[in-house]
């Protein structure tokens, strides 16, 4: 995923110091503004993906009693929190963003130790993007509108946007702080209390964020963090007193979250799911621009992004030149694969053995059936890999791999490009590269995708909705739509006929 550059120098030091580092990790639950031991005896192991070494074997898995305690604390905090003045909520969120930037090296380290996100690349940018998402939501404090309606029948009608109450978030491993902050800002600025379940693969930075929220001044119970595995997520999704849940992850797990909501209390559900994002490169495209965006779109965060540019369709006239330029760019990027602790590294390892073996399986099977352009396997690392001339029904065309693996195929006509791009159950992001704006807008109108880039790919912004069509999700994050997902519209009728 490609974001604008939101890097900024931290403001004057707050005087607060997070006590954590790669050798001293937060391994308790964050409930009611303090670390507490889990009431469950179940724990999980996490590993360093660059070499497979054990990082911790005692990360708690929150059970039913822990979830109930977090919900009770949130319910106790909600009546006062929802009445907190919007400007006060704004100031707290801005303070949290400042603290995130101040403690960026620590947060990045806590993520890198189990994700392998490079310190000199996406690992730093992720925290900057996260802080900007929080600041963006804070800016809505005095601007998020209700509505008033015509009085032609003698009734004044008002629509209020009211918080849902206690809401929960299930966060993926691939960009834990950035994904979280695109959810938490909208939830908190609209007056909700928030329970977070980070991925079992990358829990530590999110737990530390709970401490930063307390330091920012958030009251007890407003923000809770529960480490755990899928069983913890299931407890949140099915809890009768949680009124909303936002999930980012696979379509298969998203379906389970939706089902759990329906079987419990019909809580509000927002799902940001997978993608198999196509880029359509026309003969008149700027070759350098198209190659750069497509390469960045498949290699950022080692391809572990829902909007990764994993399907590239190139018009026949430019295809040979594009393939050679794309190959050269991937091979140049492959030279930056390595130790995520080194500042020169741009691509780190895949998050863990399970995901590595999955991606490796796709590559090894594809090598026996399709033409390998470049890449392959190198120890714990997967360099940028691409296949060409692959049948449209092949598994590497249809299935989200979540690794730096792309397919390049050709098309003749605009109609064929659209047919191939839309031939998927996903619909998160699509890109079109052309210098003909009329053609671009025709493609935009016919592409079955929640987001479309014209001469860009795999892009995101805090100020506009983020989400997909088809099996790529339900609802939206970011922009004003991201706030609406955490509110319930209430219609008020005022009788003026007496």
234 Cβ contact list (under 8 Å, min separation 6):
256, 260
The yes-or-no answer on residue 272 being catalytic is: yes
Q: Report yes or no: 400 and 426 within 8 Å, Cβ to Cβ.
A: yes
The alpha carbon of residue 121 and the mean position of all alpha carbons in its chain are separated, in whole angstroms, by 17
Whole-number Å distance between alpha carbons of 287 and 282 = 9
Burial of 151 (0-12, 13-18, 19+ CB in 10 A): exposed
Please say whether the beta carbons of 259 and 236 come within 8 A.
Answer: no
**Structural element, H or E, at residue 331:** helix 319-334
What are phi and psi for residue 466, nearest 5 degrees? -120, 120
- Tell me phi and psi for residue 381, to 5 degrees: -115, 150
Question: What CA–CA distances, in Å, run from 283 to 310, 319, 327, 373, 435?
Answer: 20, 8, 18, 21, 9
Instruction: Kindly report the length of the chain.
Output: 498
Report the distance separating Cα 304 and Cα 350, nearest Å.
8
In three-state secondary structure terms, 58 is strand
Angstrom distances, CA of residue 159 to CA of 13, 83, 145, 192: 42, 18, 9, 18
What lies within 8 Å, CB to CB, of 132 at 6+ separation is 6, 97, 462
- Which position among 272, 400, 414, 477 bears the catalytic label? 272
**CB atoms near residue 312 (< 10 Å):** 29
Q: Where are the beta strands (DSSP E) in 336-433?
A: 371-374, 385-388, 405-411, 426-427, 429-433
> Residue 179 phi/psi, 5° resolution?
-65, -45
Reference 234, options 252, 220, 253, 250; nearest CA is 253
Beta strands 244-248 and 268-272, pairing class: parallel
Extended strands (E) in 210-264: 223-225, 244-248
* CB burial readout 24-37, b (16+ within 10 A) else e: ebbbbbbbbbeeee
Kindly compute the dihedral angle of the four CA atoms of residues 8, 304, 210, 264, in this order, to the nearest 10 degrees: 140
Contact 300, 402 (CB under 8 A): no
Q: Which residues are catalytic?
A: 272
């Amino acid at each position: 995923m490609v974001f604008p550059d939101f890097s900024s120098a931290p403001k004057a030091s707050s005087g607060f110091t997070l006590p954590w580092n790669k050798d001293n990790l937060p391994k308790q639950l964050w409930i009611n503004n303090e670390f507490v031991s889990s009431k469950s005896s179940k724990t999980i192991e996490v590993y360093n993906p660059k070499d497979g070494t054990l990082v911790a074997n005692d990360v708690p898995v929150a059970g039913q009693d822990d979830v109930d305690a977090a919900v009770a604390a949130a319910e106790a905090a909600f009546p006062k929190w929802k009445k907190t003045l919007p400007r006060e909520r704004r100031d707290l969120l801005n303070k949290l963003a400042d603290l995130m930037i101040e403690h960026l090296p620590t947060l990045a380290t806590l993520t890198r130790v189990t994700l392998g996100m490079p310190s000199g690349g996406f690992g730093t940018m992720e925290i900057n993007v996260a802080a900007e998402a929080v600041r963006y939501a804070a800016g809505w404090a005095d601007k998020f509108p209700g509505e008033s309606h015509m009085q032609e029948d003698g009734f004044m009608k008002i629509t209020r946007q009211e918080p849902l109450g206690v809401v929960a978030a299930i966060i993926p491993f691939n960009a834990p702080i950035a994904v979280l902050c695109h959810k938490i800002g909208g939830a908190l600025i609209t007056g909700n209390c928030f329970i977070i379940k980070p991925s079992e693969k990358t829990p530590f930075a999110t737990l530390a964020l709970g401490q930063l929220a307390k330091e920012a001044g958030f009251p007890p119970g407003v923000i809770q963090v529960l480490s755990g595995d899928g069983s913890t997520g299931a407890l949140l999704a099915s809890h009768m007193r949680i009124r909303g849940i936002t999930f980012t992850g696979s379509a298969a797990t998203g379906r389970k979250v939706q089902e759990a909501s329906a079987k419990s209390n019909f809580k509000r559900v927002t799902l940001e799911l997978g993608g198999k994002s196509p880029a359509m490169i026309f003969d008149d495209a700027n070759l350098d621009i198209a190659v750069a965006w497509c390469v960045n779109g498949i290699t950022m965060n080692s391809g572990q992004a829902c909007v990764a540019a994993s399907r590239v369709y190139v018009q026949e006239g430019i295809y040979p030149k594009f393939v050679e330029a794309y190959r050269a760019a991937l091979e140049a990027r492959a030279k930056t694969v390595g130790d995520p602790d080194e500042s020169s590294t741009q691509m780190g390892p895949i998050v863990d053995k399970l995901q590595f073996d999955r991606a490796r399986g796709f590559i090894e099977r594809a090598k026996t059936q399709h033409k390998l352009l470049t890449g392959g396997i190198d120890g714990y690392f997967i360099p940028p890999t691409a296949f060409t001339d692959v049948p449209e029904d092949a598994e590497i065309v249809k299935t989200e791999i979540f690794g730096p693996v792309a397919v390049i195929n050709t098309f003749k006509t605009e109609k064929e490009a659209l047919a191939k791009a839309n031939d998927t159950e996903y619909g998160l992001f699509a890109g079109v590269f052309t210098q003909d704006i009329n053609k671009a807008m025709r493609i935009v109108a016919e592409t079955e995708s929640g987001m479309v880039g014209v001469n860009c790919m795999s892009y995101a912004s805090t100020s506009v909705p983020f989400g997909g069509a088809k099996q790529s999700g339900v609802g939206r994050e970011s922009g004003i739509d991201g706030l609406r997902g955490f509110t319930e519209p209430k219609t008020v009728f005022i009788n003026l006929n007496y």
